[in-house]
Amino acid sequence: MSFVLVIPSIDIKNGKTVRVVQGIPELNCSEYGNDPVEMARIWRAENAKMIHLVDFDAIGLTGDINLKVIEKICKSVIIPVEYAGGIRSLEDAKKAFDCGTCRIVLSTLAFENEKEFLNIFDAFGPSRVAISLDVIDNQIVTRARKHLTGVSPTDFALHLKSIGVERFIVTDVKRNGMLLGPNIELSKQIAIATGKKVTLSGGIRNKDELMDVQHFSDVGIDSVIIGRALYENRFPCQKLWRVAEIGIFQ
């Protein structure tokens, strides 16, 4: 059995670290530290093997004002940095990679503009392009998690599998940042249906729930993204990613 990779999340708005609840960033959360670059260094010092960045300015159509911060983060740590940030074009994807990110995460674009998604996917390949499945009440949601599509996450994932997608990041939006526990069943369904790798995102509160996810590593849930629970020190110790070294791009 492989150990699940723990990926700390850093959410950025206006160049600062923010807390996110159900996809809505709350500003001035000083208890988390305002400097995302310093936060990345802290997670690296804790021996994290990867960092997940979310750029809420890019998601909210307010431009690429955080690119310099993202580039500085990538230069400050020697671990892979994954980027999610409202990428809408091949040019946006190139900018993200030029900053030093190792992988981009797409959501709305893949659903609403498959032609441009394929341009990006063909240019960079499945190891560098992942798909975020944001879900509310068993429906894919898009446009900053505000638009209910009526499409089941499993159906959409199977379509993307047929294109060649190899990794899905699965988020039950109602649990994101709420410390309500992970929706393991949703991630398990996607992993089993597609046979692809799944990153579970959102809801994990403690070590026991992380171990619950661990039971499904063999079906494809190989990693988890954790934000609030790590920032609020809800684990007895933050050595979770030291248990085992696993390949990030397997």
- Is 181 in a helix, a strand, or coil? coil
The number of angstroms, rounded, from the C-alpha of 71 to the middle of its chain's C-alpha atoms is 18
pTM above 0.95, yes or no: no
**Helices and strands (DSSP H and E) totals, the chain:** 10, 13
207 and 196 Cβ atoms separated by less than 8 Å: no
Please report the pLDDT score of residue 127 as a whole number: 97
113-to-89, 90, 106, 120, 211 alpha-carbon distances in Å: 9, 12, 11, 11, 37
Q: What is the pLDDT of residue 1?
A: 56
Neighbour-count burial of 72, counting CB atoms closer than 10 A to its CB (0-12 exposed, 13-18 middle, 19+ buried): middle
Residues 244, 88: Cα–Cα separation, whole Å: 36
**What residues form DSSP beta bridges with 226?**
8
Domain architecture of the chain: domains with CATH: 5-242 (3.20.20.70)
Total count of residues recorded for the chain: 250
One digit per residue, pLDDT tens: the chain, 250 residues? 567 899 999 988 888 887 665 455 554 444 456 899 999 998 898 888 999 999 988 876 656 789 999 999 999 999 999 999 889 999 999 999 999 999 999 999 999 999 999 999 999 999 999 999 999 999 999 987 778 999 999 999 999 999 999 999 999 988 766 667 899 999 999 999 999 999 999 889 888 898 899 999 999 999 999 988 888 777 755 555 444 334 333 3
Q: For the residues of 224-237, what is the DSSP string, one character each?
A: EEE-HHHHTT-SS-
Q: Give the catalytic positions in this structure.
A: 11, 134
- Residue 25, token pair as written in the block: 């960033």
> 99: which 2 tokens?
């900053």
Q: What is the pLDDT of residue 232?
A: 79
Residue 232 φ then ψ, to 5°: -95, 15
